[in-house]
Amino acid sequence: MGIRTALHSGTEIQALSAQRAAAKEWGRRVREDGLKAALEWRDGPFRDFRGAYGSAPKDRAVAGTDPQAD
């Protein structure tokens, strides 16, 4: 796979992933709560990166797996 193929594939994957419910939830959280809070929300269940902080939610469902979030 060459660089052009990789760039083309990456662009398509990015466009498709932007349509997921989890992407909409992420965008909403960034707008309403700010980037730091959104990163804690995203990483909280995994307890790594910003999810390691005490303020990160540890008991929420992983993004995209909660049927009520759609």
Residue 11 lies in a domain: no
What total number of domains does the chain contain? 1
Cβ neighbors of 42 (< 8 A, separation 6 or more) are 26, 50, 51, 63
User: What pLDDT digit, counting tens, does each position of 17-54 carry?
Assistant: 878 888 888 899 999 999 988 888 888 777 676 656 67
Of 46, 65, 66, nearest to 56 by C-alpha is: 46
Residue 61 lies in a domain: yes
- Model-level pTM? 0.55
Q: Domain of 46?
A: 20-69
Residue 34 lies in a domain: yes
How is residue 20 annotated by DSSP?
S
